[in-house]
Amino acid sequence: MNASIGASLTRVDGGAKVTGAARYAADFNQPGQLYAVIVGATVGLGRVTGIEAAAVEAMPGIEAVVTHLNAPRLAYRPHKAVIDPDEGERLHVLQDDAVRFFGQPVALVIADTLDHAERGAAALRVAYEARQPLVEPTDARASRIVPATAERTGAFADQARGDADSGLAASAVRVDETYEIARENHNPMEPHATVAAWQGGRLTLWSKSQYLANEKAEIAAVFGLPEDDVEVICPFVGGGFGTSLRTWPHVTLAALAAPRRAVR
| pLDDT exceeds 60 at position 154 | no
> If you average pLDDT over residues 217-226, what whole number do you get?
98
| pLDDT exceeds 60 at position 263 | no
pLDDT at 264: 46
Model confidence band, residue 94 (pLDDT cutoffs 50, 70, 90): very high
For helices 212-223 and 249-257, angle between their N-to-C axes, nearest 10 degrees: 60
Rg of the chain on CA atoms, in Å: 23
> If you average pLDDT over residues 159-168, what whole number do you get?
86
pLDDT at 142: 85
Q: Is the dihedral of CA 6, 8, 13, 18 positive or negative?
A: positive
Whether 82 and 153 have beta carbons less than 8 Å apart is answered as: yes
Q: Residues 14-60: pLDDT tens digits?
A: 999 999 999 999 999 999 999 999 999 999 999 999 999 999 999 99
Whether 67 and 126 have beta carbons less than 8 Å apart is answered as: no
* Domains observed in the chain: 14-134+186-257 (3.90.1170.50)
* DSSP-assigned letters across all residues of 54-79: HHHHTSTTEEEEEETTTSPPP-----
